[in-house]
């Protein structure tokens, strides 16, 4: 079972499609109205331009939903300009060829050939194609700007509640109680383990108190905190847990939103407890500015495992959408006997 972030409803999809169809209809209507100077049949003009424009539709959406997100939004303007230039040239030729064929062969307008054979035909195809690209890109960027502003506004409106929730998640009584209780029982039987747990608990609480309220922290510091937390859980679950974890040795000077990765690792321990033993594998790797988190944990015996999610994952999804829009991919998969998390995140210095 795979969970998608912010899956739109059927109603939302239908509304989105309807708006696109209306925009296309308005564009074609404007072209049809312009050509009333040559042909006073508005309906005929509308259907003619619908046929001529339709071959360009896939290229327009390829630009909007592939080139812009993967190149322009990822700060690769030169590559985007080159790709757009090639796409624009292809579309001009398609527009010119489609229009010429439709007027000359389908509508059998013989007088159209001299028009298309000269510069005027190419100029018309170029200007109409340019207008189509300009309008579509402008509307797409305007929509993305509006969506981003809406998210920022929503974040501001919920800032007080979010800060309160963050404070509550920092000092959870059960986290302190469980570890203090473990330290108490280890003091007599395994004093060295008890001392180690105190050190790790001190590091974890220090990070929560002094770093979690910042907008960004150094990735190196965040990984150190995660390692402290993992070592705490490793000591607490040492009799039943088979744990493997791997962190990158070099983090450059990358930064990350604090406590962002914590939820996935905490859930791995929370939802894997099993009296017959359990396994947890945690792998965090870096490829340039791209961070990948891969977590696999055995399903536990608790009822909470019947449902993947909960408040923690809901909050982290929201934070990812607000802090790393179009800069992350999250996939949570429930297998027969284990849970798997794959997160890809683009970081900045």
pLDDT in tens, 24-54: 888 888 888 877 766 677 787 788 888 888 8
Phi-psi region of 108 (alpha: psi -120 to 50; beta: other; left: phi over 0): left
**Which pTM was predicted?**
0.53
- pLDDT value at residue 110: 61
- Nearest Cα neighbor of 305 from 338, 265, 281 is 338
Encode pLDDT of 294-310 as tens digits.
Answer: 999 988 766 544 455 55
Residue 194: pLDDT band by 50, 70, 90 thresholds? Answer: confident
Alpha-carbon distance of 209 to 203, in angstroms, equals 10
* Confidence bin at 340 (pLDDT 50/70/90): very high
Boundaries of every domain in the chain: 9-157, 159-346
Q: Work out the mean pLDDT of the chain and round it to a whole number.
A: 79
Quickly state the pLDDT bin for 2 (edges 50, 70, 90): very low
Q: What is the pLDDT of residue 189?
A: 75
Question: For residue 296, what are the β-bridge partners?
Answer: 281, 340
Residue 239 has pLDDT above 60, yes or no: yes
Q: What is the mean pLDDT of residues 158-173?
A: 54
**Number of CB atoms found within 10 A of residue 327's CB:** 16
pLDDT at 136 over 60: yes
SS (H, E, C) the chain: CEECCCCCCHHHHHHHHHHHHHHHHHHHHHHHHHHHHCCCCHHHHHHHHHHHHHHHHHHHHHHHHHHHHHHHCCCCHHHHHHHHHHHHHHHHHHHHHHHHHHHHHHCCCCCHHHHHHCHHHHHHHHHHHHHHHHHHHHHHHHHHHHHHHHHHHHHHHCHHHHHHHHHHHHCCHHHHHHHHHHHHHHHHHCHHHHHHHHHHHHHHHHHHHHCCCCCCEEHHHHHHHHHHHHHHHHHHCCCCEEEEEECCCCCCCCEECCCCCHHHHHHHHHCCCCCCCEEEEEEEEEECCEEEEEEEEECCCCHHHHCCCCHHHHHHHHHHHHHCCCCEEEEEEECCCEEEEEEEEECEC
Please compute the mean of the pLDDT values over residues 156-161 and round it to a whole number: 61
Give the model's pLDDT for residue 282. 95
The whole-number pLDDT of residue 78 equals 93
Domain 159-346 has CATH 3.40.50.720: no
Give pLDDT tens digits for 90-105: 998 888 888 777 776 6
Distance (Å, rounded) from C-alpha 272 to C-alpha 274? 6
């Amino acid at each position: 079972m795979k969970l998608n972030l912010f899956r739109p409803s059927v109603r939302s999809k239908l509304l989105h499609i309807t708006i696109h169809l209306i925009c296309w209809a308005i564009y074609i209507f404007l072209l049809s109205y312009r050509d009333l100077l040559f042909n006073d049949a508005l309906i005929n003009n509308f259907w003619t331009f619908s046929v001529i424009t339709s071959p360009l539709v896939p290229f327009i959406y390829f630009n909007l939903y592939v080139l812009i997100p993967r190149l322009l939004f990822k700060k690769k303007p030169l590559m985007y300009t080159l790709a757009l230039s090639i796409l624009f040239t292809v579309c001009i030729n398609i527009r010119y060829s489609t229009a010429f064929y439709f007027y000359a062969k389908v509508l059998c307008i013989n007088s159209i050939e001299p028009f298309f054979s000269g510069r005027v035909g190419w100029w018309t195809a170029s200007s109409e194609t340019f207008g189509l690209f300009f309008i579509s890109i402008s509307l797409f960027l305007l929509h993305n700007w509006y969506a981003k502003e809406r998210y920022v506004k929503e974040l501001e409106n919920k800032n007080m509640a979010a800060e309160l929730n963050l404070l509550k998640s920092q000092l959870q009584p059960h986290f302190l109680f469980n570890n203090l209780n473990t330290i108490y029982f280890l003091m007599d039987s395994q004093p060295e383990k008890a001392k180690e747990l105190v050190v790790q608990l001190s590091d974890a609480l220090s990070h929560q108190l002094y770093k979690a309220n910042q907008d960004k922290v150094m990735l190196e510091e965040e990984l150190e905190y995660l390692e402290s937390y993992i070592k705490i859980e490793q000591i607490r679950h040492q009799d039943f847990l088979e744990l493997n974890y791997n962190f990158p040795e070099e983090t450059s000077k990358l930064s990350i939103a604090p406590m962002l990765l914590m939820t996935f690792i905490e859930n791995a321990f929370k939802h894997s407890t099993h009296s017959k033993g359990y396994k947890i594998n945690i792998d965090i790797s870096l490829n340039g500015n791209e961070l990948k988190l891969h977590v696999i944990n055995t399903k536990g015996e608790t009822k909470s495992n019947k449902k993947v999610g909960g408040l923690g994952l809901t909050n982290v999804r929201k934070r990812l959408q607000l802090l790393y829009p179009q800069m992350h991919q999250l996939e949570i998969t429930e297998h027969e006997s284990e849970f798997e998390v794959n997160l890809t995140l683009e970081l900045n210095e």
